[in-house]
Amino acid sequence: MVSIITAIYNQISMNRLFIEYLTQCTNNKFELIIIDNGSTDGSADYFEKNGAVVIRNHANYSYPHCMNQGIAIAKYNTFAFLNNDLLVSKNWDVKALEIMSLHELEIATCCATDRMESNIATYRSQKKWKYIRNPLLFLFGAKYCNLKLMHFLHCGNWEKYAAKRYSTFGSTINEGIAGSNVIMKRSAIDKIGLWDDRIQSADFDLCIRAKLRSIERGDIKPVHLLLGLYFHHYIRLTIKSQYPPFKDFDNLISIQDKWKDLDKMNEILKDSGMSID
């Protein structure tokens, strides 16, 4: 059983696709918690009609603030923090939990368009996606049919694409994170804490905190990519939607402000293929 937590602001067409794939491809019982940041296109009502629990903010809040709102009311002990511009693959939840159990992981992430098994694979994925997304988004906008077309042009038959990837990589893992999705046990929150609501790039911060805890205490493993599982991420579709300024903007700091010893942090993060610029 999984508590899926997602923050939204408008994007009704993307939200329709998101919940369709979530419903079709999730095997276990789940609750969907939507944090709506003042949508004006009926998105909050749409999710509510489809069985989601909706927290209605009357302003736009930062991502980590929203994730913590979801955690506060979640019923289950496994959380999936998913972007709304994301399409999950079949049986993702069963496979993810099996792989996490096999490797004794408390925090994991599935590969996505913007983070693959290697730097070269990530580059190729992003390049192909930009060639597809940019002209179609410019010509036809983020309409439901256009979003489906983009996905098809990038992946072809979705079920076969995801199955082939699982056949190729199976339960193998690499240290690292794809920020569009994070799967976390409640036990991990007990060890490293909630999302830091001062930092918008809080997925990166989460990765650092898990890595430091693994070094200093050894009671949790760093965040790992589940290479056999793939989600299609529309990449920056949310940013391009021109959402209002964050209500909690004055509370936000940069990740560099928090982790001031950049050389030390980059040395710690080298195994994950990440760095603080």
Q: What is the DSSP secondary-structure string of 57-69?
A: ESS---HHHHHHH
Q: With b meaning 16 or more CB within 10 Å and e meaning fewer, what string describes 244-259?
A: eebbbeeebeebeeeb
Q: Please, which residues have CB within 8 angstroms of residue 139's CB and are 6 or more apart in sequence?
A: none
Q: Provide the whole-model pTM.
A: 0.95
What's the rounded Cα separation, in Å, for the pair 155 and 233?
11
pLDDT at 220: 97
What's the rounded Cα separation, in Å, for the pair 19 and 29?
14
Q: Please, which residues have CB within 8 angstroms of residue 23's CB and are 6 or more apart in sequence?
A: 50
pLDDT tens digits, residue range 204-242?
899 999 999 999 999 999 999 999 999 999 997 755 557
pLDDT at 174: 95
What's the rounded Cα separation, in Å, for the pair 65 and 67?
6
pLDDT tens digits, residue range 133-153?
999 999 999 999 999 999 999
pLDDT tens digits, residue range 236-271?
775 555 778 898 899 999 888 888 877 777 777 777
What's the rounded Cα separation, in Å, for the pair 49 and 228?
33
| In the chain, % of residues over pLDDT 70 | 98
Q: Which domains does the chain have, with CATH numbers?
A: 2-267 (3.90.550.10)
